[in-house]
Structure 1
Amino acid sequence: MSTTSTELTARGLPPPAWEVQALPSTQWQEFYAAVLDAFHENEPEEATALWHSLAEPQRCLVVRDAGAIVGTAASFSFRMAVPGRHLVETAGVSMVSVQPTHRRRGVLSSLMRHQLDSLQSQGEPLAVLTASEAPIYGRFGYGVAARQLSLDIQSHRVSLTPPVADGVTLTIEAPDKALAACEELYARQVPHRPGMLVRAAGWERLPLLDSPGRDSAAYPLKCVVARVDGEIAGYARYTVAIDWSPQNTAQGSVRVRDIEAAEPRVYAALWRFLLETDLTSRVIAPNRPVDDALLHMVSDVRHCAPTVLDSLYVRVVDAPVALAARSYATPFDLVLELEDAQAPWNRGRWRLTGGQAGAVCTRTDAMPDLSLDAATLGAAYLGGTTLTELAAAGRVGAHRPEALATATAAFTSPVAPWLPHSFCRSLLPRL
């Protein structure tokens, strides 16, 4: 580590060149304590034990100052669904933190650059993260590729239109006992929506964790399971918080942690159940896809208070591999000129030819049709943010007007990308 002082750095001199180190497996507890401290959090032993079991120490990085951990970054090994129902090796970046005493001194930049180099050498073409602070990661080439819909429904003010849930039976089951069947259904859903992650063994327990800062005895997690012809076809995990008005009337709220369904009538049956829960007048669902079918089932969407938030940030680590790993809605043949300040191996011009059957991406010296940077490519990669809207924001240069329309049509996904599965300790739902 450089001996440059904080005072000198504050006067505008270059920040110290911090040494980034791999984490010895024996130092996990120290690493995780630094993460919790940076996010001003604590948690029950059960949660710490689960994160320890999920951790991949060889993918954990630290920066130390005088022996103490002052910066952390980790990544998890995932496969992510991309357009065309392909599953692509993806690094889930998480537990990125800098201690308050060392902020704005280059620690984060050192960690992110080292991590990007490592992911490229490991052959992972994509990296994803969810950001605790939105402005941070654009400068490292991450773009907002998926958003989430937050709903706060006045359940006594809305009703559901068809589909009618004929043939669907619902049962309340212990979340632990229903876990295997629910996880099997989740796994079947993954390829159908870009942004969803394949959950390796152990990750299925994360949605069952008690939320940070909540009294689990007061609001235990519940699970309702839907079956058709005896086979599981959907589930919803939720909590119920009951409050009473001065007039002694119930003003409870249902808080939806996750909900999956294999077909529309099952989805409708689960939502009817949630909206009609006794002693409640409110259903809160903080993370739904922006094209959620519920918006077209409710009688009055205004009483659902829909709010759209940023969710999944995508970083294209290896441009030719990542671009060739997905399918495209329409056939096209274009030259993309990519600027990437952090990953020089991505810079330059790439000829991308593809369609619904797949794609090929190779270097070229031909004149570019479109010019964009790494964060813009990440934003467009899953098909939820169009290149046309990015061009309108000045983030895509179109050297031929027709090329922009062609690329927009090709990159678009028929369903909105969405991340229902958290892998970031600081952003677990507080339900």
Structure 2
Amino acid sequence: MSYPIRPMTESDWDAFCGIWEEAFSSQMAPENIERFRKLIELDRTLAAFDGDRMVGCTAIFSFEMTVPGGVRPVAGVTAVGVLPSHRRRGVLSALMKSQLTDLYERGEPVAALYASESSIYGRFGYGLAAEGRGVTIDSHHAAFGRHVLTDPALRLRVADPAEARPLLEKVFDKVRVTRPGMYGRSPGRWDDVLADEESAQRGMGPLRCVVVEDDTAPRGYALFRVKLSFDDHVIADSDLWLLDLFATDPAAYAATWRAVLDRDLVARVKAHSRPADDPIQHLLADQRRLKAVNMEDLWIRTADVRRALAARAYAAPVDVVIEVEDSVCPWNAGRWRLSADTSGAVCEPTVDPADVTLPVAALGEVYLGGRSLSPWKAIGAADEATTGALRALSTAMSWDVKPWAGLIF
């Protein structure tokens, strides 16, 4: 059965919200719906219909995202859902294929998403490109080592989050270009980050902010909530939930962490997600006081292999013919010669024999530089016709700073 797909209009908004709530078994507070509406780009939101009823949807946020070597346009895929009554009918597949075709025709080579279910998106050529770490630190045993940098010019200021917003934006915009996966925050996105209604607090208390600065500029900040608790009603046993912590230099980074670790009445500092290579562990004198759990972060899809591979930087020279397997986007399937070094890259179609053969999801997985191609060879999903070619490609696509977006969209 065919389900026509078209861009959503303003009159479809209520039906769109209904699908979102059904698909995720949730209910959005009115203030959340209002903020969500400000973020959604109607012309980039596709809806599938059964007659006049919307039964599925998917949307895109237009981002500027850091990739190895610079900031590039990336399509942030979000709000993917199908009504329970229309599962297993090909609605999701049709939406995903329509969306990728639209990206290709627009000249947008890369898509990114956070996956609600990790089993879904590999079918459509996405690869898990970035991981984070859920972190818990025992704040009573969180002394720093002797090697930690300090700067006497720095001072700490407790600030109202909304009033400090221009300072937070300044720090964030300076930091985000240094890590693949981080994306620019629009005014609407900042509204969401700084939201502080009861629905946003989720029982963890009001949003709080500290700013680390000198006489010339802000150099770090933290946004957090404290869930106040007392063991046996006597001993403070509170959790500080860290939402955002960024700093522009090592001394400011250490000072910002010190500000949250030294918070009165707090027994533990927790973060749902921090970068996999977050330096905080190296600041602690006793690294065992940090407990970490690996977390999924971004999934990446190369919607246009030629443009995507030419748009990023490479850590080492490489000249390799890649045969790409892509059943969803047939324009990607075939052989591509990637010639790259640290000054630039060219990717063009070729009839030369392949050095390596890869599923397109493997290219998405390594695109931000944080993962290796070797597991794909180990499971037999990647083939190497030229000895050493897979390792050379993997090395060239690696990046020193681990990718991480850190904010679900």
TM range (shorter): over 0.9
The aligned counterpart of 2:16 is 31
Pairing 1:11-26 to 2, within 5 Å after superposition: 17-26=2-11
Q: Once the 2 structures are TM-superposed, how far is the Cα of residue 210 of structure 1 from its aligned partner?
A: 4.0
RMSD: 1.7
SS of alignment partner, residue 60 of structure 2: strand
The aligned counterpart of 1:338 is 324
SS of alignment partner, residue 165 of structure 2: helix
CA distance in 2, matches of 1:102, 1:325: 38
Q: Pick the aligned partner of 1:63 from 33, 48, 52.
A: 48
1:402 and 2:402 are equivalent in the alignment: no
Q: Pick the aligned partner of 1:90 from 51, 71, 74.
A: 74
Per the normalisation by structure 2, the TM-score is 0.95
Amino acid corresponding to residue 167 of structure 2 in structure 1: A
The aligned counterpart of 2:408 is 422
SS of alignment partner, residue 236 of structure 2: coil
CA distance in 2, matches of 1:282, 1:270: 16
1:285 and 2:271 are equivalent in the alignment: yes
1:131 and 2:115 are equivalent in the alignment: yes
Q: Once the 2 structures are TM-superposed, how far is the Cα of residue 216 of structure 1 from its aligned partner?
A: 6.2
Q: Once the 2 structures are TM-superposed, how far is the Cα of residue 211 of structure 1 from its aligned partner?
A: 8.1
Task: Check conservation: 1:384, 1:413, Cα contact below 8 A.
Answer: yes
The aligned counterpart of 1:426 is none
The aligned counterpart of 1:155 is 139
1:177 and 2:159 are equivalent in the alignment: no
CA distance in 1, matches of 2:196, 2:371: 33
Task: Check conservation: 1:43, 1:212, Cα contact below 8 A.
Answer: no
Q: Once the 2 structures are TM-superposed, how far is the Cα of residue 44 of structure 1 from its aligned partner?
A: 2.7
CA distance in 1, matches of 2:201, 2:43: 34
CA distance in 2, matches of 1:65, 1:339: 32
The 1:126–1:215 alpha-carbon spacing in structure 2 relative to 1, beyond 3 Å, is: closer
The 1:320–1:272 alpha-carbon spacing in structure 2 relative to 1, beyond 3 Å, is: same
- CA distances 1:147-183 after superposition (whole Å, capped 9, x unpaired): 1111011211332224243222110111111111111
The aligned counterpart of 1:6 is none
Segments of structure 1 that go 5 or more residues without pairing to the other structure are: 3-16, 424-431
Segments of structure 2 that go 5 or more residues without pairing to the other structure are: none
1:351 and 2:337 are equivalent in the alignment: yes
SS of alignment partner, residue 159 of structure 1: coil
Q: Once the 2 structures are TM-superposed, how far is the Cα of residue 326 of structure 1 from its aligned partner?
A: 0.5
Q: Once the 2 structures are TM-superposed, how far is the Cα of residue 199 of structure 1 from its aligned partner?
A: 2.3
The aligned counterpart of 1:428 is none
SS of alignment partner, residue 406 of structure 2: coil
The 1:211–1:293 alpha-carbon spacing in structure 2 relative to 1, beyond 3 Å, is: farther
The 1:177–1:217 alpha-carbon spacing in structure 2 relative to 1, beyond 3 Å, is: farther
CA distance in 2, matches of 1:212, 1:353: 53
Q: Which runs of 4+ in 1 moved over 6 A?
A: none
Q: Once the 2 structures are TM-superposed, how far is the Cα of residue 218 of structure 1 from its aligned partner?
A: 6.0
- CA distances 1:351-408 after superposition (whole Å, capped 9, x unpaired): 0001111100011011111110111110011110112343233332111222122112
The aligned counterpart of 1:243 is 229
Pairing 1:109-128 to 2, within 5 Å after superposition: 109-128=93-112
Q: Once the 2 structures are TM-superposed, how far is the Cα of residue 217 of structure 1 from its aligned partner?
A: 7.8
SS of alignment partner, residue 195 of structure 1: coil
Q: Once the 2 structures are TM-superposed, how far is the Cα of residue 238 of structure 1 from its aligned partner?
A: 0.2
CA distance in 1, matches of 2:379, 2:192: 37
Amino acid corresponding to residue 43 of structure 2 in structure 1: Q
Once the two structures are aligned, what percentage of the paired residues are identical? 38
Task: Check conservation: 2:314, 2:397, Cα contact below 8 A.
Answer: yes
The aligned counterpart of 1:8 is none
Q: Pick the aligned partner of 1:78 from 52, 63, 75.
A: 63
Aligned residues: 407
Q: Once the 2 structures are TM-superposed, how far is the Cα of residue 273 of structure 1 from its aligned partner?
A: 1.3
The 1:103–1:302 alpha-carbon spacing in structure 2 relative to 1, beyond 3 Å, is: farther
The aligned counterpart of 1:146 is 130
SS of alignment partner, residue 252 of structure 2: helix
